[in-house]
Structure 1
Amino acid sequence: MSVLDLSRDNSTAILTMNRPAARNALDLEMRSAFAELLPLIRDDASVRAVVLTGSAGHFCAGGDIRTIGISQDNTDVFEGRTRILAMHRWFDELVDLEKPVIAAVDGVAYGAGLSIALAADFVLASPQATFCAVFARIGYTPDLGGMYLLPRAVGLARAKELAFSARVVNAHEALALGIAQHVVEEGTVLNAALELAARFEHAPMGALGIVKSVMNRAFESDRGTIYRQEAMAQAICRESAFHKEATRRFLDKQPPLFQWPQEKP
């Protein structure tokens, strides 16, 4: 396996961060691998959903301090800015990926690892999962989209508290805060994520992609802009092959193309 392993489970792509000795911390090689693999997933029509996970009982410990290094007197101040901007390019590919993305979080999701989890549309956590905006401990500010995604997940005041304190949040508090959507039984988080991903195998991918694209920008767009995007999206979807077949099935009283499984009581 590489530091970022791409595998398949039917129509689901699985990205596994694989640096177990460093709790899957992001190094330069893993960042390059994200940049290489995300466009492949984006352009593969056979991939209907994506699961993000980590090896050896952890999700991702954030940036690898050993590869970030400590600033020296002869280090140009703009080097750090260039490094972060380079990460944003592949990270935006993840955030904007027009396919359902599910984070299966076991163990630590710290720093940039927290941001990678928040980039997903669904976050499933094991009871051992812990989340931390750890940056203040080393005098850093949140990166990899953390200052954008965290307030949208938990609200502005709570995001400030988590960033200022750099405290650890356990799985059940993460659920209460809105970081995670589900806490699953011990040892089942990857299987639960794959089961959730499989529900999208027959989903209207074009329509869901538009929904994700518009909703990702809803907090910084005015109401009129969203209304216009809704109108354009509906006009496109109305002419899609999926909608026409789904409508025919409805009128003929046939089973729908896509139906979310009924949750067990």
Structure 2
Amino acid sequence: MNTSLIELSIADGIATLLFNRPEKRNAMSDDMRTEFIAALEQVSADKAVRAMVLSGHGKSFCAGGDVSGMERRMNMPAGNVAFNGWHRQQRVHYTQSLLHTMPKPTIAAVNGAASGLGADTALACDFIIASEAASFTWSYINRGLVPDGGGMYFLPRRVGLAKAKELIFSGRKVDVQEALRLGIADRQSSPERLVADAQAWAAELSKGSATALALGKTILNQSLELSAEHVFAQGSQAQGICYTSTEHRESVMAFLAKSASKNAATTNRG
């Protein structure tokens, strides 16, 4: 799937999705969000795709929300501002939820500035690999806004509550070295190797059972809010499903066949 604002390619079971609005630093417009949603829905539903890498064309990962869209909202009749804003927020939350709950590993390959919604979008992925040119800023405060792309949920889980407050209240820039130190980013790569390294990592993470990965991710995403009892209960249900999966059956049969072959060889040598 190739579109004007989102590029999606699939090779060897790895989907690579690129923001393609470099002249606007990949700022998220309404049209771009529509294409982003379509791409995420396609990747999520495609059983041939085992993992996804998200990055951006040009010098920025994503500069956040499109300011021209903010201007249009401010110029609307006063009686429409709140409801239209609510409707837009539903789209934002749906987009971020698609990314966060995708039933396969996701990696943000942050090639440059990830600002505001761009920083939240990176955090909505399971892992972040950042280039030497990457930076992160929760710059909503500079527009009189609060993080609306999941930053108030994701960031404290990576850096702790106090540090998340400091980054959100100040809106300051975090370079790649500080991002690695704080746990915002998980790995670093050179600009020219970034996407390839992310794809290789995605392949490594998705070697196992797709069933087990999807179920495990779903439970892990909720684990900080659930009691141990609930996590065990969900794990038991998930394991019951895994017991019936083709991947489990084939792996057990292969192990048993290998053991039988080994035992037979030992007996023959004896």
Same fold (TM over 0.5): yes
Q: CA deviation at 1:97?
A: 0.4
Whether the aligned pair in 2 keeps the contact of 1:20 and 1:55 (CA below 8 Å) is yes
Aligned to 1:189: 194
CA root-mean-square deviation: 1.5
In structure 2, what is the Cα distance between the partners aligned to 1:90 and 1:98?
Answer: 14
Aligned to 1:263: none
Whether the aligned pair in 2 keeps the contact of 1:48 and 1:200 (CA below 8 Å) is no
From 125, 128, 133, the counterpart of 2:133: 128
From 2, 5, 23, the counterpart of 1:3: 5
Aligned to 1:260: none
Q: CA deviation at 1:18?
A: 0.6
Of stretches 234-243 and 16-25 in structure 1, the one that deviates more from structure 2 is: 234-243
1:231 is the counterpart of 2:233: no
1:74 is the counterpart of 2:77: yes
Aligned to 1:258: none
In structure 2, what is the Cα distance between the partners aligned to 1:121 and 1:180?
Answer: 11
TM-score by length of 2: 0.90
In structure 2, what is the Cα distance between the partners aligned to 1:92 and 1:77?
Answer: 22
Aligned to 1:257: none
Find the structure with the greater CA-based Rg.
2
Q: Which has the higher helix share?
A: 2
1:46 is the counterpart of 2:51: no
Of stretches 185-194 and 203-212 in structure 1, the one that deviates more from structure 2 is: 185-194
- List aligned pairs for 1:164-243, cutoff 5 A: 164-200=169-205, 202-243=207-248
In structure 2, what is the Cα distance between the partners aligned to 1:28 and 1:141?
Answer: 19
Of stretches 72-81 and 186-195 in structure 1, the one that deviates more from structure 2 is: 72-81
Structure 1: gaps of 5 or more residues: 255-265
Q: 1:247 to 1:21 in 2, by over 3 A?
A: same
Amino acid at match of 1:71: M
Aligned to 2:62: 60
SS at match of 2:69: helix
1:31 is the counterpart of 2:33: yes
Of stretches 77-86 and 53-62 in structure 1, the one that deviates more from structure 2 is: 77-86
Deviations 1:62-111 (A, max 9, x none): 10111122624833323222211221112211110001101111110110
Q: CA deviation at 1:41?
A: 1.1
Whether the aligned pair in 1 keeps the contact of 2:104 and 2:206 (CA below 8 Å) is no
Aligned to 1:117: 122
Amino acid at match of 2:70: I
In structure 1, what is the Cα distance between the partners aligned to 2:59 and 2:195?
Answer: 11
SS at match of 2:60: coil
Of stretches 117-126 and 63-72 in structure 1, the one that deviates more from structure 2 is: 63-72
TM-score by length of 1: 0.91
Amino acid at match of 1:130: S
